[in-house]
Amino acid sequence: MDLTFTESERAFRDELGAWLAANSPGAEPAGDEDAHFDWRRQWQRRLHEGGFAAVHWPAQYGGRGASVVESAIFFEELGRSGAPLPANVLGLLLAGPTIMLWASEEQKERYLPPILSGEEIWCQGFSEPDAGSDLASLKTTAVRDGESWRISGQKVWTSIAQHSKWCMLLARSDTEVAKHKGLTYFLLDMQQEGVTVRPLRQITGESEFNELFLDGALVLQENVLGGEGNGWKVALTTLMNERAGLAFFLQVRMRQLLDRLIEQARQRGRLDDPLLVDRLVGLHMRCEALRLTAYRGLTAIEKYGQPGPEGSLTKWMWSQANQELCQLAVQVLGPQALREGDPWAYELLRSRGNTIEGGTTEILKNIVAERVLGLPKGR
Amino acid sequence: MDFDLSEQQREIQSTARDLLAARSGSAAVRAAAEARESDAALWQEIAQLGWPGIAVEERYEGQGLGLVELCVILEQTGAALAPIPLLPSVGAALAISHAGSEEQRQRWLPALAQGSATGAVGVCNRDECLLAGSTDAEVFVVFDGDRSARLIERAGAQAQPIDSIDPLRAYVEVAGDGEPLDGDIAAAFGAVSVTVAAESVGVCQRALEMTLAYVKERRQFEVPVGAFQAVSHRCAEMLLHTEQARSVVYHAAWASDAEPALLSAAASLSKALACEAAVSVTASAIQGHGGIGFTWEADVHWLYKRAQLNSQLMGAAGKHRHRLAQALGIAAAA
């Protein structure tokens, strides 16, 4: 057991820190969501030029072949610097690694470079109105049409679909077999007739997510990933990648929110309230427990190739702690924090999504119960 | 960064687990609890293996390993609820190592390391008094808080046994002037706090394992009750508490060995979090066992009782949370 960072990990942090200090994304544009996305796309270009767009990708595909610890350091430092996630975060974290594992060399050459540069944005078309937690029951159909496929159905919660060139799409290519076996994973061109994107307004008023309507959308046979009927297996690769790096970005952001709340409580003279102080300490404890548990998860991945029992817990820990933090902030800061446009009002509302997005807490508990604790399948 | 046990630490872990499975099983523990006696033969055996001196320097006849190795063992003795005075002895030895004079170390550490003497350790001030250890201890280490501590030899100690709800460990309150410990009291207080937290992680782990075994076996409505989400989600929460506690405890133990500047805050974090976790997890274990869990016959109550005593030993969570507030610079003015 040695919780110090190695010399090369420290050197990586220093190099990155120096780069981030010299390369700022500039002021965050207020209001307009398209302008905001363009800001993040510019930021990704800067990261790409600096060689920091996808540190976790192997060098042969334009990454740095960073270790899992270095990748965590990247997201920690990015979060700490106040910079946003790069625009093509789904391409970098999900599509890229999935393509590396399942695609032909030709496909890798075609798809990976524009993911890295941010030239082609990717979205993820998995969830449907009637297939959320029970993803494998999805109904979007893929029908053969000569040498191609025609896709019809509806997807939902499709982040950044309005900006996307490509979609990682999971559809049912065989309705005759068991539900997990009839799925195929497609790379869908979003810029065609038969693809309609409709923004989904969320409780914050903004639209991070969309509904995606597919009406005979065309996919060439060569854009089937992992073979016909193998979609569930390929999709699991994508889902496995979902939680790895982001955890460290989110963990640092939560720490910053807590520090901001402590500072604001101090300015308002509220720190003479021992009950409030104790609640702040409680949140500090949860931030620390999360940070340390996430580090343990890295060691498990590094040494054994997969996360240990603690790996299933960090998203659950983060989402609940972040919600409590936002609720406490509103209690401390009073009605001011509930005005439209107040940063805490936004954080409060946005945090309600934390225990739903990327797997609801209930589903995470099921996964822990069944896969980690070996309990019988739930009902 | 390597947040995992080393090969050697894993060996220590499996040796301890195997020995305690053979020598401190359910029947032996129950017999010790009913008799309110420690297991002298087991104490002899683990003393020969060098457990009491594992974190004592070699020049004082210990094994010269660190707090991480000690925590590995305490996690196992906590899980087994082994009726031996290991925690009070290693706690006293850690306190003397960190805060004792050279003369005090030479006088006490070899005997404590070899297990020929036992110790007692805890906090005693005008508000409360609780030491782990028996009236037979040769040396009592008494913290007033986290700023001062004294050492009292048996001859000079007025020690009264405490008849606590945890029959698997002797507790004592003690009076007497003794002699001051003048060294690094904060480090001593931190290190001893971490040992209590480490034992509590073992308590969590055992409570979780017993509950899992029970809910997989017990059937109602023609299925194992562990198939019901109301039950399985409770078990998932028990795992969450257990693993969080384990993370902060090993971080604190590592800090004590490698980054002493981090120890004070890390120790209070681990003490508050792991002891609160153990109370919650063992309460869940009773609930998870249903009616059986409320009976004397089921073993879960021993774990719940230990969790309650550990929660108070070396200061309750509120005290440690206050220390964290101080470390964060947000402590409310008294």
| pLDDT at position A301 | 86
The closest of A93, A157, A91, A148 to A122, measured between CA atoms, is A91
Residue A300 pLDDT > 80, yes or no?
Answer: yes
Min Cα distance A285 → chain B (Å) is 6
Q: A251-262: string of b/e by CB count within 10 Å (b at 16+)?
A: bbbbbebbeebb
Indicate the SS3 state at residue A12: helix
Listed in sequence order, the residues at least 6 apart from B326 whose beta carbon sits closer than 8 Å to its beta carbon are: none
The closest of B194, B154, B158 to B314, measured between CA atoms, is B194
Q: How do residues B251-282 score in pLDDT, each as one tens digit?
A: 999 999 999 999 999 999 999 999 999 999 99
Q: Which of A285, A365, A379 sits opposite B272 (nearest CB)?
A: A285
Q: Which of B240, B269, B332 sits opposite A285 (nearest CB)?
A: B269
Residues B15-44 have a mean pLDDT of 96
| pLDDT at position B8 | 97
Output the CA torsion B172→B176→B182→B185 (10° steps): 30
Q: How do residues A322-338 score in pLDDT, each as one tens digit?
A: 999 999 999 999 999 99
Residues 284-323, chain A, touching B (beta carbon < 8 A): 284-285, 288-289, 292-293, 295-296, 298-300, 303, 309-310, 313, 316-317
Q: How far is CA B150 from CA A18, A113, A336, B157, in A?
A: 50, 67, 52, 11
**CA atoms in the 13 A half-sphere facing the CB of A18:** 5
CB contact under 8 A, B212 and A374: yes
Query: For residues B47 and B85, what is the distance between their CA atoms, to the nearest angstrom?
Result: 11
From chain A, the residues in CB contact with B216 under 8 A are: 374-376
Q: How do residues A174-200 score in pLDDT, each as one tens digit?
A: 999 999 999 999 999 999 999 999 999
Average pLDDT, whole number, for chain A? Answer: 94
Q: How do residues A207-230 score in pLDDT, each as one tens digit?
A: 989 999 999 999 999 999 999 999
| Banded pLDDT at B334 (limits 50, 70, 90) | low
| pLDDT at position B333 | 64
Percent of chain B with pLDDT over 70: 99
Q: Are B184 and B261 in contact (CB under 8 A)?
A: no
| Banded pLDDT at A237 (limits 50, 70, 90) | confident
Residue A242 pLDDT > 60, yes or no?
Answer: no
| pLDDT at position A35 | 93
The closest of A73, A208, A212, A250 to A129, measured between CA atoms, is A212
How far does chain A reach from its first CA to its final CA, in angstroms?
40
From chain B, the residues in CB contact with A368 under 8 A are: 236, 239-240
**Is the Cα torsion angle B80, B85, B91, B93 positive or negative in sign?**
negative
The closest of B81, B87, B153, B132 to B315, measured between CA atoms, is B132
CB contact under 8 A, B330 and A277: yes
Cα B246 to chain centroid distance, Å, stands at 13
The closest of B164, B153, B106, B99 to B130, measured between CA atoms, is B164
Q: Are B20 and B29 in contact (CB under 8 A)?
A: no
Q: How do residues B173-217 score in pLDDT, each as one tens digit?
A: 999 999 999 999 999 999 999 999 999 999 999 999 999 999 999
Residues 117-146, chain B, touching A (beta carbon < 8 A): none
| pLDDT at position B27 | 95
| pLDDT at position A310 | 76
Percent of chain B with pLDDT over 90: 98
Output the CA torsion B42→B48→B50→B51 (10° steps): 0
Min Cα distance A293 → chain B (Å) is 5
ipTM of the complex: 0.97
Bridge partners, residue A172, by sequence: A141, A183
